[in-house]
Each structure stands twice: as C-alpha cells, then as structure tokens.
Amino acid sequence: MAARKTIAISNQKGGVGKTTTCTNLGAALGQLGVKTLIIDMDPQANTSSGLRYSDADNTIYDVLLGDVSVREAIRVTEEEGVWLIPSNKDLVGGEVEFRDIEKWQFLLRDALEEVDGFDYILIDTPPSLGTLTIMSLVAADSVIVPVQCEYYALEGLTQLIKTIMLVRNSYNPDLKIEGLLLTMFDRRLNLSKQIEEEVRRHFGRKVFNTVIYRSIRIAEAPSFGLSIVKYAPDSLGAMNYLGLAKEIAYEESFR
C-alpha cells in the first residue's frame, strides 16, 4: 500500500453521489484497516451530518481561518478506522471570504501539513468549481470523479477536467485523476449500460472497474448516521464500496 495519499472527490454536478462516495469509501477503507481522515469542504455539511456531526464547532472553516489547529478539529467517528474534520453552514461565506487571504489557494494544503498518522485523506468538495473546490484540488494528490449513470452524465465533465488542468498548471503540478466512478447504476435500464459504455469509451482505463449500483440501503444509511458498510454490511452497496476501496488501496485492476 502506498504512503499517505490525499484524494478530492469532485464533480460540479449535484446529486451524482459525491458525498455518498466520500463517506462510504472512507468507511470501506477503514474496514480494510486503512486509517482514513475525511474532510468535509462542502458548506451543506452532508458528510458531517451523515457521520453524526451536525452543526459542529471547530470545523474546517475555523482551521482555514487559523482560529484552531487542524489537530483540534479532527473528530473520531463511529466508523472503524475513520476520522472527520467536519463542516457547517459557516463555510458558505468561505467562497468569498477566503479570497481576501493572500495565497488562499494553499490554505488547505498548508493546514494538512500538520496532519500525520493517516493512510488516506478524502476531501468532499462542494457541487461547484469555486473557491472551496479549487483549494481542495490544490491540496490533493488526485481526484475521484463520480459520474451518475443518467442521460446527462458527461455534461460538465469537460469543464471539470479543464479546472483540474488549470489547478495542475498553476498550483499543483502533481495532481492526477484517480479515476471516474460510475454511480447509481440501474441494471434494469439499458440507459445505464449505454452510459457505462460511453464513459468507458471516452475515458478508458481512467474509469474504475467498480460500479456503484442504485440502492435503497445506501440512501437509507445517512439517516442513521452510518455508512453502508456499517448499516448493511452484507448489502450490494457495501460490497460495491469495499470493491472500490480495494481497487484504490491495493492498486488493483485499472492501474
């Protein structure tokens, strides 16, 4: 297994399974014995609430402002091997507020220099290509792009890839695309199969072998403050995310 890696999970389209992937991939990595820190960079704070930290104090917002240290903001979760730096609604102002700080692009990257003891850091980004997402990409080694298996699946991907290239050229030359992840796959629909074929034709080996199937159990889990691997460990959704975790942590398959 590689040394510590920071992965941003990003797509400016909402509803593609970005937060779901961040939470469940983190929990699945934890199940594999991989110590994982999740950072919630989304003002909606759904990752935080899904891990039972609603409206928390000492959040990533406070860390980025320099009011608390990153160590003070790290919380233990009920998921095995998973820790969290939560978000809350205060981060809404960060999209504008942080831009008044010199070299704001590097705020998160610099904060993470104090972090050690984790194998992976996962960053949940907002459904936009604004300040918070750029900061996350600057801090990351690579990006996972969730792609919903629906008609407009490829819409916006061109702009996201342009933003990744911009960040690579300007601030983070080592930034890579970890992979595209097909989500909400419905095996009953020909459309899902067609979207999978199209994405794989366009992006080839950059698409994870693992596909996340549409699942009621995955949708239910956050209301209990649990990941799918803890809420329904024998479910297809849990098996999907464990498969993804293995594909990433053990560098299997598409690499």
Domains, the chain:
5-249 (3.40.50.300)
91-100: average pLDDT: 90
Average pLDDT over residues 78-96: 93
User: What is the reported pLDDT for 254?
Assistant: 39
Query: What confidence category does residue 3 fall into, taking pLDDT thresholds of 50, 70 and 90?
Result: low
pTM value is 0.93
Contact 63, 70 (CB under 8 A): yes
Give the pair of three-digit tokens for residue 232: 């329904």
Q: Which residue has the higher pLDDT, 187 or 31?
A: 31
In this predicted model, what pLDDT tens digit does every residue of 189-243 receive, in sequence order?
Answer: 788 888 888 889 889 999 999 999 988 999 999 999 999 999 999 999 999 999 9
pLDDT, tens digit, 9 for 90 and up, residues 158-170: 888 899 999 999 9
Q: Which of 65-69, 86-90, 129-133, 195-199 has the lowest mean pLDDT?
A: 195-199
Q: What is the pLDDT of residues 117-131, one digit of tens each?
A: 999 999 999 998 899
